Structure formats: C-alpha cells, structure tokens
Structure 1
Amino acid sequence: MHDTTSTSLLIVGAGPFGLSAAALAQERGIDAVTVGRPMGFWREHMPGGLFLRSGPDWHLDAAGRHTLRAYLRERRLRPREVDPIPVGVFLDYADWFRDVKRLDVREEFVTALTRHDGGFEAELSGGGRVRSEVVIAAPGVGRFGALPQWAGRVPPGRAAHSGDLVSFGALSGQRVVIVGGRQSAYEWAALIGEHGAERVDVVHRHPAPRFAAVNWDFFDDYVESTLRVPGWWRRLTDAERTAVVARCWQAGRGTLEPWLPPRLASCAVHVWPRCEVVRVDAGRSDGAVRMDLSNGETLRADRVVFATGYAPDLARVPYLSGLLDRIATRNGFPRLDEGLQTTVPGLYLTGFAATQDFGPFFGFVKAAPASSTLLLRALRALRSRRAG
C-alpha cells in the first residue's frame, strides 16, 4: 500500500524556480514537499559543452546569501575563470545550493493533480500521494518546444528539437540542417561542427544576428520594479511593455555571444539568413531529406534540428490535465493574479508560464528569487485571510 503525505505546500518542479521557492518556504517555516528531478531539464536537455549567457550575479537565493558568487568564493574560483559560465558550473552550484539549504527533494514526478477537500491531491510516479493546501507548479520550458508546421514531413529519427538533441557524436560525417537563428541554433551549429559533422547549414528568416557582449544589468530594474510595485508589468502602458519586450528581444535573441564566431569559422558551417524552408522531400533513395529554400537554394540533410524556441500550451503539462477546464488562459499562457495564482484558488504557476503576466524576463533564472518572494508574499496573505 502506497503512502499519503500531507503538507501545507507542494512544489512541483525542482528546476531554478522550484528550488528557489523551496528554499524560501523552508526559511519562512512553511511545511513544504518538493517533487521533481533536481535541475532535470538542465541535466537532460542541455549539452555538456554549453555555456550560459548570464553572469555570476544570476542565482537562486531570494535571501541573497547562497548565491553563485558565494559558491565561487567557497570553491576559490574567480568569476573571470568561469567566463562564460559552463552549464556544469551552474549545475554544481545548484547541487551546492540544495546541500547548504538542506532541501529534501522527492525525486519522483507528479502524474496527476486534482482537487481534494478544498486543497489538492497529487499522484506520484512512485505510487504515493501528496495532499496539500497549496500548490506551486514550475513546469520546465522543455515541455513547450515549438516546431514549424512542416516538421512532420521529416521522417521520425531524422529530426529533433534542439532541446532534445544534447549528444552529438552520432552526427560525425553527417549533413545537418538547423532551422532557427538564435543563440541555441548557432551554438548547436558550433558543437555539431566540432563533433565532426560533414556540413552544417543554419537557416532562418531574420537577418544575420549581431555578435557582441550583452550587459544584462537592465534586468535588475525590471525585477526590482516587479517586487516594489504589485502587478508592475500589467500596469505598464502598451507602449512601455512593447519597449521592454524589444529590449529583451534585442539582448536575448537579436544579439548572440561574441565567443561564437571563431568556433563557427573553424567548422563547415553555412548560414542562410532571410530564408525559410518552402518544400521538404523525404522520399529520396539515398535517405537524405531534400529541403528547398525560399532563395532558390536546395539543401540535403541527414538530420534536421529545430532550434525554434518554445510556445506556451498548458495541455502539454500532463499533471494539469484534470484542472485545465478551470485554468483560464490567454494566448496559451495561464491568467495569473499579482501573486502568480491561477484561476484555480491555491494553484500558482511560475517560470516560463508566467511571462505573459509578469514580463519576458520572468523566463530567465534571474527572476527566480523574485518569483519566490512574490509567491511567499501571496502565501502569507492567503494564510492571513484564512486566519481572519
């Protein structure tokens, strides 16, 4: 017979937003259970040779003590020694953060979440159950991979979203076409080329990107405003929101890291800006996928990689299926109040799922401590109302 655990707070997801919330809840004396594989998306969907675009000031601790800088100091590492930051360094920091915060994470998955006695009941992959008054869900962005409409024309086994392709050894000697033109597209191109691909073609609709160092300090103002002014993002005018989105877009998507071009120059990488795929023919005798481009060029690929980003769709979060009819959405995103609560009382969503109501910067690790602060404020207010 499987066990049932009762708790005040259930946190579903153990990525940056989940771990940050778990640490602050514990610090505030809230009885909480955290379920998920710690940093699972990062470990399973980011290649070992990946570098982060952020600096050492991005961390998980809403209390501001156990930061990435503090971790580097303890390991006697100077920031310039890990610039750019390898993904492995951040994963080591996350492990250290869990240890120093003494966070207990149940390494299972929530398979279903339903209402129960005014709260919630979660069924776990191991067969147990957790009953909770409140749930904070932080579904990883990996659930929301976007694909072009024609993706289904590529035979199974010959295509993958960039988030699902993290091992490149099998691509040695292969012809690879990458669809997309942001950081992941170009970094995957470098990595695939460095693993011996015969040829790598990068195809995207927008102009060739700019390669330059990005100063992310402007995120600080947005995060501080979010903490200082309830509902700051939704209080902005349309013009103000458009300006923020444009600034985030230019930094995060229009500008790519300056350490990429030398790696691309040493590989068999060919870039096709201002182009798109207009025809796909996968029925060739040699097994290659023929791809006709809008500029008249034709490419042949043994593998196709979709570096096409992510799009919201809560229906792709399996454990929410029993509540979807009660979660109001707009443009695929959940509609959230100023404390990140959905239209299901007691159910909160954060991370990428919160970017529509809190701004595009909420999809970055930088916002994890702020998210935790907002959530704990909301839970404190909820408790006060219930006590009153």
Structure 2
Amino acid sequence: MGDALSTDVLIVGAGPFALSAAALARERGMDTQVVGRPMAFWHERMPEGMLLRSGTDWHLDAAGVHTFEAYLRERGLSRDEAVPIPLALFRDYAEWFRHAKHVPVRREHVLDITQRDGGFDAVLTGGGRIRARAVVAAPGVGYFQRVPGWAAGVPEARAAHSGDLVRFDALADRRVLIVGGRQSAYEWAALLAEHGAGRVDIVHRHPVPRFEAVSWKFFDDYVEATVQTAGWWRRLTAVEQKAIVTRCWQAGRGTLEPWLPARLNPGVVRVRPDAEVVDAHGGEGGAAVRVTLSSTESLTVDQVVFATGYAPDLGRVPYLAGLLDRIATREGFPLLDENFQASVPGLYFTGFAATRDFGPFLGFVKAAPASATVLVRHLRARLG
C-alpha cells in the first residue's frame, strides 16, 4: 500500500461547504487534501432542469473575491439572466471557483478514518492512505434520507427518495405518487409532468403551501453573527432560537417558489393536501401499487417518490465507523464546540451536520463562507 501522504488538513467531501473550507485553508497556508467527487450530490442527486432557490449573493468564497456574482460578470451574464438560478449554472460556478482557488480534489472516497498519535489515518478506495493532523467532515444530506415507516410495504423497484429519482424519461405515461409537500415535491411534480408522466398525485399532511417570492436577506445577520461572535447561536435563549427556526421554516418550507404553479399541468398533477398514506401494498412482479389515504381515497400508482427530506444519523456515514464510539451525538447530530470541532479533538463537521449547534441556516449554501471562516480560524490556531 506504500507510505501515507501527510497533510495538515484532510477534508472529506467536495460539496459547497467542503470546497469553501478547502479554499480558505489553502489561502491560510495549510496543506490541505480534499477527497471526494466535486459537487457529487449536485450532479447525481439533483435533476437537470432544476432551479435553485438561492440568490446571486450566495457564494463559496470566504474572502469575498470569487463570488457567484463575480462569476456572472466574467461570463457576461446579468442578474436578471441568472435568476432563478439553474442548477447547471451554479455547478459551473462551483467548478470555476475550485479552479480559481487552486483546490485539487482526489476523486475517490474515504473508506475509514482512525486516530493515531494525535492525528488521523484515512484509507482511500484507491488503496492509498492520508495521514492528517486534522479532519473536516462534510457529509452531504445524501447519507441521511428519511422515508416513512410504511415505505417498507412498497417494493424497492417501485419506490425512490427524491434524491435518488432525478431522471424522469422512464416514467413517461406512468402514474406517480409524490409523498411530501415542500419545494422538492412540487418541483419534482412539475418536472415529471414536463417529461410526460401520465398522472402525478402530490400527497401531504398540511394545507397547500404559499407560492410567493421570498427574500433571504434576513440570513445575512445570522451569518455575520456566526462569524463575529463565537458560539453566537448557542448563546441565544430557547425563545430566540425558536423564532429563528420558525422564520427559516416559513421561508424555506412554508413558502414555495412563485414560478411553480404555472408548471403544474392541471391535466396531470393533482394536489391532495391534509392527507397522508395509511397503507401501501402490491407492486410485485410489475403490478401496480395500491395506496390508501387517510381521506379513505385509494390510488393505483406505478411509482412512489418520497420527497420526505433528511434526518441526521452519523451511523450512516461509512467512513466514520472507526470513530463513531467517540463522537458525542444528540438527536443524530454530532455535538460541536463553538469552532465546529467534535468531541474527538481535531475532527470538525460542517454543513448539514452542524445545523443543530449553529442554526438551521447552516443547511444553506449561504452559510458556507461563514462556516469556513470559523473552523479555519480555529484550525490555524490549533495547527500553528
């Protein structure tokens, strides 16, 4: 297997939070190795034609130079031409950012991480090893898909989480049930209709969400406070935290994009609010799935799509298995200090995994530069 490559910082993952942290760490003079496939979730778990909810002021650069707006200027695109932001455009920005910041990525996976002599040893899929003084883990939400208990009654071939069903041509003329009522549920329904689905039923337990434009400018204060005040989120009272959680929920989940309704072909898409699935069976051997709703209605469908979000569970992240018994957790999240460091010294988490201890806005790309600033500042002080 040969000698291990030594580095200051190993970053596991190559999504927005990982690339943001890697760029800043390198700019701060730390030898940094990134292992993963660049923007893999964005390439493999998001459908072509998807439109993002972010603004043009959301970017990856903690230094504020290689921003999304700087990318647009270089490409000769105006803000109006970019909004709503197509998925492909932001992916291209991330690649532009990575090259501008000279962040190489080893396009393989970390299989296992162990502690040794105050540092970490990582084994890679290609057989190589990396010896790192510190590790930044950026596990994407793809590890944490959530599905309801009754999903066990639907054959695997007939069921998929929205993060696994991102190509729709095979569902032309088919009957599709989407479980969930937030942005992904409605956008997947629009895309399915546009790809020729025969019928799409959206079922969710709450009323139909509002469809209206949302300003995300209120994130700015939260992100700035995260950078300027150590442990800002955890210093808030429970009442103050709840108010922020509610505000983020109302913007991110209670309100959907205004361009969606026009794309929900009423001849194909039917919305069934205030209802839930109480039973699902069948689907074996090519047969259809029979679904019973709490409204007593029954549906016959060819495919079930779970747009049911994500729930944290570090046990689902394979490369953490060797450290899991020493990582303190709560509600599936790692317990982090005010610098994003876990209970294992030298191990840091960023992105979705940090939302419990840093606030719900840490689940949005907008917070990537702030997260990078805080944890790299601590890394620099720790590593010298």
TM-score for both structures, normalised by structure 1: 0.97
Paired residue secondary structure (1:127): coil
Mapped to 1, the partners of 2:193 and 2:233 lie a distance apart of 41
Shift of 1:159: 0.5
Q: Which residue is 2:277 aligned to? A: 277
Deviates most, 371-380 or 1-10: 1-10
Shift of 1:85: 0.3
Shift of 1:160: 0.3
Contact 2:288 2:301 in 1 (8 A): yes
Is 1:357 the equivalent of 2:357? Answer: yes
1:25-64, Cα deviation, whole Å (9 max, x unpaired): 1111111111110001100000111000001100000000
Q: Which residue is 1:307 aligned to? A: 307
What are the residue-to-residue correspondences of 1:28-47 with 2, within 5 Å?
28-47=28-47
The AA in structure 2 aligned to 1:342 is: A
Q: Which residue is 1:196 aligned to? A: 196
Contact 2:5 2:129 in 1 (8 A): yes
What are the residue-to-residue correspondences of 1:1-388 with 2, within 5 Å?
1-265=1-265, 267-282=267-282, 287-383=287-383
Q: Which runs of 4+ in 1 moved over 6 A?
A: none
Q: Report the CA distance shift for 1:358/1:154 in structure 2 as closer, same or farther (over 3 A).
A: same
Paired residue secondary structure (1:164): coil
Shift of 1:83: 1.1
The AA in structure 2 aligned to 1:46 is: M
Mapped to 1, the partners of 2:279 and 2:8 lie a distance apart of 54
The AA in structure 2 aligned to 1:323 is: L
Shift of 1:99: 1.1
Shift of 1:381: 2.7
Q: Percent identity?
A: 66
Shift of 1:378: 1.1
Q: Report the CA distance shift for 1:267/1:354 in structure 2 as closer, same or farther (over 3 A).
A: farther
Q: Report the CA distance shift for 1:271/1:27 in structure 2 as closer, same or farther (over 3 A).
A: same
Contact 2:72 2:78 in 1 (8 A): yes
Paired residue secondary structure (1:10): strand
Mapped to 1, the partners of 2:156 and 2:260 lie a distance apart of 30
Q: Report the CA distance shift for 1:109/1:73 in structure 2 as closer, same or farther (over 3 A).
A: same
Mapped to 2, the partners of 1:2 and 1:169 lie a distance apart of 46
Paired residue secondary structure (1:6): strand
Mapped to 2, the partners of 1:235 and 1:267 lie a distance apart of 51
Paired residue secondary structure (2:156): coil
Contact 1:136 1:348 in 2 (8 A): yes
Shift of 1:265: 3.2
Contact 1:110 1:319 in 2 (8 A): yes
Mapped to 2, the partners of 1:144 and 1:362 lie a distance apart of 16
Mapped to 2, the partners of 1:382 and 1:126 lie a distance apart of 30
Mapped to 1, the partners of 2:183 and 2:210 lie a distance apart of 11
TM-score for both structures, normalised by structure 2: 0.98
Contact 1:211 1:255 in 2 (8 A): yes
Contact 1:113 1:121 in 2 (8 A): yes
Uncovered stretches (5+) of structure 1, i.e. residues with no partner: none
Shift of 1:279: 1.1
Contact 2:28 2:380 in 1 (8 A): no
Uncovered stretches (5+) of structure 2, i.e. residues with no partner: none
Aligned residue-pair number:
384
Contact 1:13 1:137 in 2 (8 A): yes
Contact 1:46 1:163 in 2 (8 A): yes
Mapped to 2, the partners of 1:24 and 1:190 lie a distance apart of 38
The AA in structure 1 aligned to 2:337 is: D
Paired residue secondary structure (2:157): coil
Contact 2:202 2:269 in 1 (8 A): yes
1:68-105, Cα deviation, whole Å (9 max, x unpaired): 00000000000101110000000010111111111111
Shift of 1:285: 8.3
RMSD: 1.1
